[in-house]
Amino acid sequence: MEFDDVRAFVTVASVGSVSLAARDLNITQSAVTRRLQRLETSLGTTLLDRRTRPVALTGAGQAAIERCRRLLNDVREVRAAASTGGPLSGEFRVGVAHALTEFTLTEPVGELRRTFPHLILRLTTGWSREVLERVRSGSLDAAVILLAEGESLPAEVTGTQIAKERLLVVASRQHHHPRPRKIQDLAGAQWILNPDGCAARAGLRRALLQADIDMIVAVEAYNYELQLALVAQNRGLSLVPERILSRSRQRSRLRVLRVAGLEFPLVVWLVCREPLAGFERVVAELARTLSQRL
């Protein structure tokens, strides 16, 4: 049984597909498939049902997955102990919420590379809940995510609050309708938002539902700069972090709408699952640089 085969199995089980596992492991899909087949052959059983979407664990896979995760963590701890006294090396896997990739990570990643030049950083993006689950399952070492204020972390995960994310409702300066003052004034408004899975979108939906207002999504787009360009063309309203708006090329063409009853700040968390297998200094440095950045 090979270490890389076990890691391929755990990664596929965590992300739910061979293609996503290949991206995270930085290998081809066929290489992931070969590793899975090799592991299943060595164990004499089928671990994954590849006919389902997402890929599902078989009964044997469910019995094996936690032991395989512990095995990976044990190997990482052995490597960390063996490298004590020398430069920190190995692979550190970090998940990042989509909304925090823009204007946020360049400097912290650069600082980590300068401080730990022998460390390999593996960055993965996704929605906050997706990457949080992958930290909980052990397929990521840490993640930078957004959660609603007051929301708690799973029992298996520890974290540090880095900053608060202020969300702003924005409209085009060409928007000549009366400015909405309260949430009820947003009835019938069309929105340009991130796809489902976004914490900000989920907060907006909850707030509108509480006011008995349907959320009408005109456009879905991952990229905030694209969203703001569409808003500037008067195609709808959007909900964006203040830090994104302050740096946007579109900001002079936009106006912020102050809407009573539409406030739901998000919290930026740096989360990890213990034990960190020697990477405590990396997490501390990442927390420091993120705090400065945000």
Query: Does some domain include residue 162?
Result: no
**Are 185 and 104 in a shared domain?**
no
Per-residue model confidence as pLDDT tens digits over 209-245: 999 999 999 999 988 999 999 999 999 999 999 988 9
Tell me the CATH number at 26: 1.10.10.10
Per-residue model confidence as pLDDT tens digits over 129-149: 888 988 887 778 899 999 988
Domain boundary among 65, 82, 99: 82
Query: Does some domain include residue 161?
Result: no
Work out whether strand 216-220 and strand 158-165 pair parallel, antiparallel, or are unpaired.
unpaired
**Are 191 and 256 in a shared domain?**
yes
Instruction: Give the pLDDT score at 238.
Output: 95
**Are 201 and 259 in a shared domain?**
yes
Per-residue model confidence as pLDDT tens digits over 90-117: 788 888 988 887 656 677 888 888 888 8
**Are 128 and 177 in a shared domain?**
no
- Contact between 98 and 126 under an 8 Å Cβ cutoff? The reply is yes
Q: Which domain holds residue 282?
A: 90-153+275-294
Query: Does some domain include residue 160?
Result: no
Instruction: Give the pLDDT score at 37.
Output: 93
Instruction: Give the pLDDT score at 271.
Output: 94
Per-residue model confidence as pLDDT tens digits over 144-203: 999 988 888 887 789 999 988 889 999 999 877 778 889 999 999 999 999 998 888 988
Query: Does some domain include residue 159?
Result: no
Residues 6+ apart with CB under 8 A from 93: 24, 122, 124, 139, 140, 141, 142
Evaluate if residue 125 carries a pLDDT over 60: yes
**242 CB neighbour count, 10 Å cutoff:** 13
pLDDT band at 277 (very low <50, low <70, confident <90, very high): low
pTM of the model: 0.74
pLDDT band at 120 (very low <50, low <70, confident <90, very high): confident
Query: Does some domain include residue 288?
Result: yes
**Are 104 and 247 in a shared domain?**
no
Query: Does some domain include residue 269?
Result: no
Tell me the CATH number at 281: 3.40.190.10
**Are 70 and 134 in a shared domain?**
no
**Are 174 and 217 in a shared domain?**
yes
**Are 209 and 282 in a shared domain?**
no
pLDDT band at 270 (very low <50, low <70, confident <90, very high): very high
pLDDT band at 82 (very low <50, low <70, confident <90, very high): low
Instruction: Give the pLDDT score at 278.
Output: 72
**Are 64 and 134 in a shared domain?**
no
pLDDT band at 24 (very low <50, low <70, confident <90, very high): confident
Evaluate if residue 84 carries a pLDDT over 60: no
Query: Does some domain include residue 122?
Result: yes
Of residues 137 and 250, the one with the higher pLDDT is 250
Number of domains in the chain: 3
Query: Does some domain include residue 206?
Result: yes
Domain boundary among 82, 116, 143: 82
Instruction: Give the pLDDT score at 171.
Output: 94
**Are 128 and 68 in a shared domain?**
no
Per-residue model confidence as pLDDT tens digits over 30-79: 999 999 999 999 999 999 988 888 888 999 999 998 888 888 777 766 76
